Amino acid sequence: MADTLSIIIPARNEAAGLRALLPELVTMLPGAEIIIVNDGSDDDTPAVCAEFPVRVVNHPYSKGNGAAVKSGARAANGDVLIFMDADGQHKPKDIPALLEKFAKGYDMVVGARQSGSHAGAHRAVANDIFSRFATWMIQQPVEDLTSGFRVVKANKFRNFLYLLPNGFSYPTTITMSFFRAGFDVSYVPIHTPRRSTGKSHIRPLRDGVRFLLIIIKVGTLYSPQKLFIPISAAFFWTGVCYYLYTYLTAGRFTNMSALLFISAIFTFLIGIVSEQISALHYKDIGQSKHEGD
C-alpha cells in the first residue's frame, strides 16, 4: 500500500503480551509506525517497549481503553491506522488479510471473531446479540460489533474522536458512526485464541452494565427513531389493551391507561428530538467522504 501505516496498541500492565507481540510485529511490518499507549501501567510495560523501535505515549494514570485509542490516534502520523490489543489475542499474521480487503476501497475493515474466539460463552452471546441488533438497525450485516482489531482511514476516524467513550465500548461507537456517516465498512474473519498472558481489565459487574447500554448507544448513534418508535408503539398498544380490559370489566378509563398513552407520546417525541440531535453529529462529516480522500 502507498499509504503510511500506524499501528496503535493500548496497553495497561501488558508487559508479557507485548514481549511476545512486538518482535513479530516489528519483523512483519518494519516500515510501520508502532505506537504503544501506556495507560498508567505499573508493571514492566515501559521497559519492554524500550527494547523495540516503537513510540510510547504515556498516560500518567489509567484513563481507559477508549482514551488510549484516542491518544494513539492523535499521535499517529500514518494515513491508515491499525488498532489491535496488546494481550496477544490479535495476531499480526491477520494484518495482511485486513489490509488486502482495505485496499479494495473500504474506509474501515474489522477483524470479525469466529466461533470459539471469545474469552467466555457470556461474551460470545452478548456480542452476537449486539451484532444482530446492529444488523437490524442498519439493514446491513454486522459480523462483529465489538471487535477492537481494525484497519481504518486516519482522517475519517479522527472525525469521531469526540464521540468515542473512554471505556471499552469504543468499537461499537466507531462502527455505528461510520455506518451513520455513509462510510464503507467490511469484515474479515479472524480467530483469536483465549488470553494466555496477563489479566483482563474487564470487570463483569461494572462493565456488564456498560455493555448492556451498548444497545441504547447503537440505536441513538444510528437511528434513534428506529429504537424509540417501537417502544412508543408498545406503550400505546399496551394502553389500548388495558383500556379495553378496564372498560369491559369496570366500565371506566383508568389512570394506568392514561399513563401508558402519555408515555407513548413522550417516547415518540423523544425519538424525534434524538433523531435531530443525532443528525447534527454528522452534518459536516458527510462532506469529508469526498473532501478527505
Estimate to the nearest angstrom the gap between the alpha carbon of 252 and the chain centroid: 49
182-241 residue pLDDT tens: 899 999 999 887 655 555 555 555 555 666 676 677 677 777 888 888 999 999 999 999
**How many whole angstroms separate alpha carbon 175 and alpha carbon 114?**
18
Enter the pTM of the model: 0.79
Report whether 108 contacts 98 (CB < 8 A).
no
Least confident of 28-37, 42-51, 191-200: 191-200
Least confident of 37-46, 89-98, 129-138, 208-217: 208-217
Residue 224: its pLDDT value, please? 82
Q: What are the grid coordinates assigned to 225, written together? A: 427513531
DSSP-assigned letters across all residues of the chain: --S-EEEEEEESS-HHHHHHHHHHHHHH-TTSEEEEEEES--SSHHHHHTTSS-EEEEESS---HHHHHHHHHHH---SEEEE--SSS-S-GGGHHHHHHHHTTT-SEEEEEE-TT-SSSHHHHHHHHHHHHHHHHHHTS--S-SS---EEEEHHHHGGGGGG--SSTTHHHHHHHHHHHHT--EEEEEE--PPP-SS-----HHHHHHHHHHHHHHHHHHH-HHHHHHHHHHHHHHHHHHHHHHHHHHHSS--HHHHHHHHHHHHHHHHHHHHHHHHHHHTTTGGGHHHHT-
Express as a percent the part of the chain with pLDDT over 90.
53
Residue 226: its pLDDT value, please? 81
In CATH, 5-203 is 3.40.50.150: no
- Residue 141: band (very low, low, confident or very high) from pLDDT cuts 50, 70, 90: confident
Express as a percent the part of the chain with pLDDT over 70.
84
**How many whole angstroms separate alpha carbon 240 and alpha carbon 27?**
67
- Residue 292: band (very low, low, confident or very high) from pLDDT cuts 50, 70, 90: very low
Higher pLDDT, 9 or 129: 9
Residue 290: its pLDDT value, please? 44
Residue 283: its pLDDT value, please? 67
Rounded to the nearest 10 degrees, the angle between the axes of helix 204-222 and helix 170-181 is 10
Least confident of 102-111, 120-129, 138-147: 120-129
Residue 289: its pLDDT value, please? 45
Phi, psi of 199 (to 5 degrees): -135, 135
Residue 288: its pLDDT value, please? 47
Report, as an integer, the average pLDDT of 285-290. 52
Residue 146: its pLDDT value, please? 85
* Amino acid (1-letter code) at residue 85: D
End-to-end Cα separation, the chain, in angstroms:
15
Q: Which of 120-124, 131-135, 255-259, 275-279 has the highest mean pLDDT?
A: 255-259
Rounded to the nearest 10 degrees, the angle between the axes of helix 224-250 and helix 204-222 is 100
Q: What are the grid coordinates assigned to 214, written together? A: 451498548
Residue 113: its pLDDT value, please? 87
Report whether 144 contacts 137 (CB < 8 A).
no
Report whether 228 contacts 268 (CB < 8 A).
yes
Residue 26: its pLDDT value, please? 93
Question: In whole numbers, what is the pLDDT of the chain averaged over residues?
Answer: 85
Residue 123: its pLDDT value, please? 65
Report, as an integer, the average pLDDT of 106-129. 76
Checking if the pLDDT of 73 tops 50, the result is: yes
